[in-house]
Chains A and B, each alone.
Chain A
Amino acid sequence: MSKEVNVDVEYLTRVEGHGNIVVNAKDGKIEKCEWQVVEAPRFFESMVVGRSWKELHHITSRICGICSIGHSLTSLKATEEAMGIEISQQDEMLRKLALHGENMQSHILHVGYLALPDLAGVGSVIPLASSHPDELKTVIGLHRLANDMSKLLCGRTTHPQRLIPGGFSKLPTIEELETLKGRLADSVEDLKAVASFVKGLASRFPDFERETEFFSLGHDKEYPLYDGKLKSSDTGTALVEDYLSMTNEYIVPQSTAKYTKNNREAYMVGALARLNNNYDNLSPMAKEVAESFGLEPVCHNPYMNNVAQIVEVVHNVEDSIRLIDLVLDMGLEEQSPYHQPDIDVRAGRGIGAIEVPRGILFHDYTYDDDGICTEANAIIPTNQNHGNIQYDMESLVPQMLADKTEKEIELALEMLVRAYDPCISCSTHYVDVKFV
């Protein structure tokens, strides 16, 4: 039987940014199988050159709306390292809370609004309002909680205002933190309900595996989001300052984004990579949820990234409650509502590495004596996943060609790319834009 398969998804929907999937196969032979990235460049690494240390976190926050807290924090860590600025233990805990808030917000948006429609067999979240009103209401409630939490800590849910070099311009009050803690505790039941709803549909995730390398932060004592060393499932730990030797950007002709690799042709970053590398440090309830899905390290099914995100949200909630308790036990140290930390501006280079929702993020700045940025580099999670997506596609398509229809292949590929939750608009490195 001669069979022609043509998949041409221009501007994949329900992902952030612009990417295309192109597959041509004839008589079981693949002629083309490509994940193409076609986002317009924005040149952030050039825009920050010549700007002051006081502005860099504000500017680089705009690399990505959905990870703007993560970008701000990574930027602040780079600036603080460059100038030898120390932040207080309290500020560090509050920053970790901010990061939990963003991770929850981003993961809930992705699983609930973007991935769930595939599992439910609809085109968007809108039909779920009539087909699954209760479940959707639960998802919306969790999303609102995550946003309220981000707003409480950062001033705003998107493009934070309170996060500044050396700490916070304004702090939440004790009462606000207590209320937040109560709401987090109450959300656990809702989270379990969402987890079991997804579990009921999880058989729709294709049963696909391809062995790859997982890259994330690693930490002895905690599930590392804000802090840690670099960790590869293949090559072990490394220092943050050696990040360039682990990320090795390279260029492929089919894509506008640079790819990265370490030990193999590509690696994966994000929730599944973090979970595979740091499973033991997940909170107890997060482990329970992982077990209920049969998710255990090392999992090589990229579709399970969706499940890893649910597991992480549970961890975020549990760890946030722990952090709030710690802050309150220590007694919240008050400060001016227009706080400006004392900063000794000086020349230097600093590298910030943080786990943001889609994986490990690096900002690397050099400042002159006046605190003006002279050089900047950023490596964002989605770019680190492009290569892995491409190799997954090349492995998945041949397995499906024999007995799946074009539509089924198309859906499986869309779901694959979506599982990585790519945030293409923040891909800062592009070469050769080619439009299909």
Chain B
Amino acid sequence: MSGKPKAAFFDLAGCEGDQLQIANLEEKVLDLINIVEVVSFREIMKEHSDDYDIAFIEGSVTNDHLAERLEEIRENASIVVGLGSCATIGGINSIRNSQDHEEVKHRVYGDQADLFPSWDKAKAIEDVIKVDYHVHGCPIDRDEFIHVVESLVLGKDPEIPNYPVCVECKLNENICAFERDEFCVGPVTRAGCDSCCVNEGTICWGCRGLIDNPNDDAHSDVLEEYGLSAEEVMKKFNLYFGWQQEARKDE
């Protein structure tokens, strides 16, 4: 890459909440466009170019058309970055992966159900193309996004934690959800969000997805204290792990 790398943003099946975090950078957007040249970002600009180095992709892949778009993007870009959990791990969309697809379609579209194409499962983009980096979260964390962009511009690998949310949560001195008679998937979920949901008085819902090896890398102190295994935690509360759980089974 010579000069400023060219960046493009794309969205598949998602809520655009991750792209919104970029608009929410406010003045820092101006810092961002100092280090990368944004050549395509449909949500905020009219201009579009297929000449880009880094592609940021939000949303899951859910049909052939989106898969084709994704493959085109992969051909054009030298670096592909998944933006948000729908893209990186299937995310909330993959709740339906364990549901009966015929029922899923009929419930929403009745007898029109067969009129539009959708796969029976929502997939992470890496199910279809090679993905170089992941910015997890639902939505993404703005600081982590900036860290990833800065690293890429400097030609370095961004640092993404592979330890559970409990580690951050303990540092923040929260009262553990289990202590409050709530259930929490923090012990198996990838940190990097500073345990923000627990800090706000709730639980970790698992939005950043599973750590690489939940059985080995889960937070053993918390699990032991409350007599749980990593498998039990993942099974008992599964909002975001649908696609990841299947991918683990396939391995």
Which A residues lie at the B interface, using CB under 8 A? 11, 13-17, 40-43, 45-47, 49-51, 55, 58-59, 62-66, 68, 109, 113-114, 117, 123-126, 129, 140, 143-144, 147, 155-159, 161-162, 164, 168-170, 251, 256, 336-340, 425-426, 428-433, 435
Whether the pair B103, A155 counts as a contact (CB closer than 8 A) is no
Which residues of B sit under 8 angstroms from A161, Cβ to Cβ?
196-197, 200-202
Once A159-B139, A430-B116 are accepted as A-B contacts, the answer to whether A113 and B44 lie under 8 Å apart by CB is yes
For the complex, give the distance between the alpha carbons of A236 and B17 in Å.
36
Asked if A429 and B108 sit within 8 Å, CB to CB, the answer is yes
Task: Give complex CA distance A269, B45 in Å.
Answer: 25
Q: What does the 1/0 interface line of B201-212 toward A look like (CB < 8 Å)?
A: 110010000000
Q: Are B17 and A46 in contact (CB under 8 A)?
A: no
B positions within 8 Å CB-CB of A? 11-21, 23-24, 26-27, 30, 33, 38, 41-48, 59, 62-63, 65-66, 91-93, 95-96, 99, 103-105, 107-109, 112, 115-118, 122, 138-139, 174-175, 180, 182, 196-197, 199-202, 205, 239
Option from B20, B59, B95 in Cβ contact (under 8 Å) with A47: B95
Query: Closest 4 interchain pairs by CB?
Result: A65-B17, A169-B201, A124-B45, A155-B200
Contacts of B12 in A (CB 8 A): 40
Q: Which residues of B contact A117 (CB under 8 A)?
A: 46
List of B residues within 8 angstroms of A40 by Cβ: 12-13, 59, 62-63, 65-66, 118
CB-based nearest A residue for B106: A46
- Which of A50, A63, A64, A433 has a CB less than 8 Å from the CB of B117? A433
Q: Are A58 and B239 in contact, CB atoms less than 8 angstroms apart?
A: yes
Docked-complex contact B201 and A432, CB < 8 angstroms: no
Which of A49, A156, A428 makes the CB contact (< 8 A) with B196? Answer: A156
Contact partner of A430 (CB less than 8 A), chosen from B48, B92, B109, B205, is B109
CB-CB under 8 A from B122, the residues of chain A are 42
- The docked-state distance in angstroms from the alpha carbon of A229 to that of B122 is 38
Q: Are B42 and A42 in contact (CB under 8 A)?
A: no
**Which residue of A is nearest B93, CB measured?**
A42
Give chain B residues whose Cβ lies under 8 Å from the Cβ of A11: 42
Whether the pair A41, B116 counts as a contact (CB closer than 8 A) is yes
Contact between B105 and A64, CB atoms less than 8 A apart: no
Q: Could you say which residues of chain A place their CB within 8 Å of the CB of B104?
A: 43, 46-47
Name the residue on A nearest B107 (C-beta).
Answer: A46
Q: Contact check: which of A45, A63, A169, A432 meets B202 at CB < 8 Å?
A: A169
Residue contact A14 to B202, C-beta cutoff 8 Å: no
Which chain B positions have C-beta within 8 A of A55? 239
> What's the minimum C-beta distance from A3 to chain B, rounded to whole angstroms?
25
A68 touches B17 (CB 8 A): yes
- CB pair B65 A66 closer than 8 Å: no
> Are A13 and B196 within 8 A (Cβ)?
no
Cross-chain contact A13 with B92 (CB below 8 angstroms): no
Residues of B within 8 A of A156 (CB): 196, 200
Contact residues in A for B46 (Cβ distance below 8 Å): 13-14, 117, 123-124
CB distance A42 to B13 under 8 Å? yes
Most buried by A among B15, B138, B202: B15
CA distance A14 to B45 in the complex (A): 6
**A433/B116 contact (C-beta < 8 A), A13-B45, A109-B23, A164-B202 known:** yes
Complex formed: what's the CA distance from A6 to B42 in Å? Answer: 22
CB of A62 within 8 A of CB of B116, answer no
Contact B115 A431 (CB under 8 A): yes
Q: Which of A43, A55, A337 has the most CB of B within 10 A?
A: A43
CA distance A40 to B16 in the complex (A): 13
Pick from A62, A158, A256: contact of B92, CB below 8 A: A62
Beyond A113-B44, A155-B200, A170-B201, whether A65 also contacts B27 by CB under 8 A is no
CA distance A55 to B183 in the complex (A): 12
The one of B20, B26, B116, B196 in contact with A432, judged by C-beta atoms closer than 8 angstroms, is B116
Give bound CA distance, A46 to B108, whole Å: 7
Q: How far is the CB of A103 from chain B (nearest CB, A)?
A: 15
Contact, CB under 8 Å: B42 / A13 = yes
A15 and chain B: residue at smallest CB distance: B43
